[in-house]
Every structure is written in C-alpha cells, then in structure tokens.
Amino acid sequence: MSAFPQPLTGIAAPLDSGALRDNVDTDAIIPSREMRSTGRTGLADGLFAPWRYSDADARAENPDFVLNQPKFRGASILLSGANFGCGSSREHAVWALAEYGIKVVIAESFAPIFYGNCIRNFILPITLDRSALEGLSGHEITVDLAAQSLTCGDATYPFDIDAEAKQMLAEGLDAIDLTLTQAQAITNWTASDKAARPWVYLEHST
C-alpha cells in the first residue's frame, strides 16, 4: 500500500453544489448491488452509483453529479457535510473511493467505522467546521499532512489527526505488521487472562 502523498494539491469537489450534504451513507458511496466479488478491487465504477448515473445498469452518466462535471472529474479531494460515511461498515466504500483516486475527504464530521477504514487505506479524513468547508468548495487546495494544515488561496486551516494515524498515513504502515511487533506482550497478556477469565477461551468444536 502506498503512503499518503505530501503535500497534495487538488480541486475540492463538493457533494451537492451549493449546500453540502449531511449524512452521506456508505450505501450511497457504494450500494450493496455494486459489491460483486469478495475482492477489494473493481469498485471505482460503482462509486456513488445512485447519484453518478441516471441509469446505473447502463452506466449512463447523470451530468449534474459533481464528479461528472469537467472541473471535478477525477478529483482527489471530496467535501461533504456532517456524519459522512454513516451506515454500513462496508470497507468497500473506502476501497471504491481509493480506487477512484480520492485521497482526502473533508467533512464536518465522520461516522466512526468509516473514519477507521479511511486510515487503514491511507485516505486522509479531515474534520473542519461548516463555514470553513463551504469556503473551500470548488477551489484548489493544498493538504500538508506533516504540518497538519490545509491551504486555500490566502487562508490556512489547521486540522487535527491522532499522532498514530498520522504516522501510519505518512509512512504507509500496515497496522497488523505494526501490532505484531508487540506479539510477545500480547502473548503474555493472554496467558494471564486465561488464568483470570478461563471461560473466555473455547475448546475447538469443528
């Protein structure tokens, strides 16, 4: 997996021009019917299918949808309102965004499972307040992960990200590999927990 590019410059594509949409759910990002295999690829085509296509089966584009407009086609930065990524835990939503080329999602807030899925797939979720968000719409912005800041024209906005998530994005770290460096500590903890809570540990029955 590739690390988050820094700095990253691109046009910020707003979901719903004018008023940013709240509660964009993962069914809208990738509907269940677009999840056609057990793999993580082949999903970009189904990204935002309900809004992006006037006829999803025929892949007939809806010209009004933001990512179909010439200025925003292939955008790497997405803007939305509150509670982005709510609903189903399907990581396919993040895989679809990543495969399409989205590197940054900027929203007023995020649903927790989606946020975690972004970090694991090296998409940067940035939380900004509504007024700042609306000022970014359609503009070229530069995201600097190292400096934790976002620049649009003369304005600069700092953003928060947990130190560990930042490091994982910046260095493209695999969470499992990182945790396995502490495998001995986990083994030791499990041995003492087995003594304290033996009922947790099941005999194999299959």
Partner 1 sequence: MGHTLFEKIWETHAAAQTAGGSTLIAIDRVFLHERTGAAALKRMAEMGRAVLDPARVFAVMDHIVDTRPGRGDSTLMQGGEGFITETRAACKAAGITLFDVNDRDQGIVHVISPEQGIVLPGVTLVAPDSHTCTQGAFGALAWGIGSSEAEHAMVTGTLRLEKPKTMRVTFDGKLQSGVTAKDMILTLIAAHGAGGGAGHVVEFAGEAVRAMDMEARMTLCNMATEFSAMTGLIAPDAKTYEYLAGRTYAPPHFDDPYWSTLKSDEDAAFDQEIVIDAGAIAPMVSWGTSPEHTIPVDGTVPNGPARAHEYTGLVAGVALAGTPIDVAFIGSCTNSRISDLRRAARLLNGRTIAPSIKKAMVVPGSLSVKRQAEAEGLDKVFIAAGFEWRMSGCSLCFFAGGEGFPEGSRTISSTNRNFEGRQGPGIKTHIASPETVAASALAGAIADPRDYMRQEEAAA
Structure tokens at 183: 């495998």
The upper half-sphere exposure of residue 103, i.e. CA atoms within 13 Å in the direction of its Cβ, equals 22
CA dist 162 and 160 (Å) reads 7
Closest CB 103 distance from partner 1, rounded Å: 18
The residue (of 155 and 185) whose beta carbon lies closer to partner 1 is 185
Contact residues: partner 1, CB under 8 A: 16, 19, 21-23, 25, 27-28, 31-33, 35-40, 50, 56, 82-83, 86-92, 94, 109-113, 116-117, 120-121, 162-164, 167, 175-176, 178-180, 182-183, 185-186, 189-190, 193, 196-197, 199-206
Closest CB 60 distance from partner 1, rounded Å: 13
Structure tokens at 112: 């927790």
Closest CB 9 distance from partner 1, rounded Å: 27
- Calculate the alpha carbon distances from 14 to 21, 100, 140 in Å: 9, 16, 12
Phi/psi of residue 114, each to 5°? Answer: -60, -40
The residue (of 10 and 31) whose beta carbon lies closer to partner 1 is 31
- Return contacts of 163-171, CB within 8 angstroms, 24+ apart: 165/119, 168/119, 168/122, 169/3, 169/4, 169/119, 169/122, 169/124, 169/145, 170/3, 170/4, 170/6, 170/145, 170/146, 171/3
The residue (of 3 and 185) whose beta carbon lies closer to partner 1 is 185
The residue (of 90 and 103) whose beta carbon lies closer to partner 1 is 90
Closest CB 202 distance from partner 1, rounded Å: 4
The residue (of 71 and 200) whose beta carbon lies closer to partner 1 is 200
The residue (of 13 and 111) whose beta carbon lies closer to partner 1 is 111
Sequence-distant (6+) residues with CB within 8 A of 203 are none
